[in-house]
Amino acid sequence: MIHSLPLADQSPPDDARDHLLDWTPQQLTTWLSDCGERAFRGKQIWQWIYRQRAVEFGEMTDLPASLRRALAERFVIFRSSIAKEETSPDGTEKLLIRLADGGEIECVLLRDGDRRSICVSSQVGCAMGCVFCASGLDGVDRNLRRGEILEQMLRLQRRLPAEQRLSHIVMMGMGEPLANLENVLQSLDVARSPDGLGISARRITISTVGLPVAIDRLSRHAVPYNLAVSLHAPNNELRSRLVPVNRKIGLQPVLDAADRYFQSSGRRLTFEYVLLGGVNDSKTCAAQLAALLRGRPVLLNVIPYNPVAGLPYQTPSDAQIKTFRQTLESAGVNVQFRQRKGSEINAACGQLRRHRED
């Protein structure tokens, strides 16, 4: 199901007002005090945005009318627009978001039992060049600002009825979150804050291609987010073919950095493995993978490939998936085969944008 939407809650492209979601609470408090307003107004404004889901200052009825006017002259709340939206029968919703400069990114809401998880982008495009992924086919345009990351979360929260709240966040949309770590961490601070979305760090996962220096920075940040490392191959030769940044980094330094993250955060690591038919789905690959993960307290998340038009990769057959799974399970690996939720709406990384460009 595809709709094109004329939306009232977006600012015109040449809007010179600041994006309020880019501002920290401290910056807003300073601005309020410069305007002669009391500091508690800041908390009220954030609560209107994150809790009451306000999209315009006019909705903030417990603020003085003069303040509402001053805010609307100085700021916009939503800066992007929804270029396209798709809903799949299992309740998955995917948004293609057009940013103020015309760049396009994707984000997804997944409904699963009581869970209301969102998958959020961190960059326009991606520089990592994973050969099977739609997001990086044209390289990276730029990092997203903190407000642009937060706006995806708010737009997805608005898809839920008022009594439902977002429960989980995964930084698994377009881009490499650890290549934009500062803005990602700032936006997640707001996601965790009781005045923000109030989602605990334990329910937030950062997924990375595996950049050891940035993983160490994340360890020092000392907020126990879950870390998922996209492995995709059990040896250097194959990984360098599928994940080109591996040529400069190598598999072992990625595993070492992941081990250090586990030691500092105490959070069980996840390794992700996209299963590509005839490429990395052999019994030998499964056995090598089991040997690599032995002794590591990790969850292996195997994701059958979601085909991307124009790329020569395929989803493995059910029989191949079964053999791969049995080999891992009999070696004692803690493995989970992810359901392909939302695959009918191009819900894998970068696919919706690609589809539209075609």
> Which residue in the set 60, 71, 110, 130 belongs to the binding site for ligand SAH (CB under 6 A)?
130
How many residues touch ligand SAH under the rule CB under 6 A: the total is 18
For the bound state, the minimum distance from the C-beta of residue 7 to ligand SAH, rounded and expressed in Å, comes to 27
Tokens of 1: 């199901």
DSSP 338: P
Per-residue binding string, ligand SAH, 290-309, x by CB under 6 A, is -------------x-xx-x-
3-state secondary structure of 194: coil
Q: Of 119, 126, 133, 349, which one is the catalytic site residue? A: 349
128 or 254: CB nearest ligand SAH: 128
Q: Of 106, 148, 151, 272, which one is the catalytic site residue? A: 106
> What type of residue sits at position 343?
S
Catalytic residue check, 182 = no
**What is the C-alpha separation between 299 and 214, in angstroms, rounded?**
21
Per-residue binding string, ligand SAH, 172-191, x by CB under 6 A, is x---x---------------
Residue 349 within binding range of ligand SAH, rule CB under 6 A: yes
Chain centroid, CA 44 distance in Å: 27
Catalytic residue check, 106 = yes
Residue 166 within binding range of ligand SAH, rule CB under 6 A: no
Q: Say which residue the tokens 């081990």 belong to.
A: 259
> Which residue in the set 348, 352, 353, 354 belongs to the binding site for ligand SAH (CB under 6 A)?
348
3-state secondary structure of 13: coil
In which order are the strands placed within the sheet that holds 204-208?
2-3, 81-87, 93-98, 104-112, 115-119, 168-171, 204-208, 226-230, 269-275, 298-304, 335-337
Exposure b/e, 235-247, CB count within 10 A at least 16 = b: eeebbbebbbbbe
> Which residue in the set 71, 97, 109, 133 belongs to the binding site for ligand SAH (CB under 6 A)?
133
Enumerate residues 215-234 that contact ligand SAH by CB under 6 A: 230
125 or 147: CB nearest ligand SAH: 125
170 Cβ neighbours under 8 A, 6+ residues apart? 117, 118, 119, 120, 204, 205, 207, 228
For the bound state, the minimum distance from the C-beta of residue 201 to ligand SAH, rounded and expressed in Å, comes to 18
Residue 254 within binding range of ligand SAH, rule CB under 6 A: no
The residues of the shown chain that bind ligand SAH, judged by CB under 6 A, are 128, 130, 132-133, 172, 176, 207-209, 230, 272, 274, 303, 305-306, 308, 348-349
Hey, which residues are catalytic here?
A: 106, 349
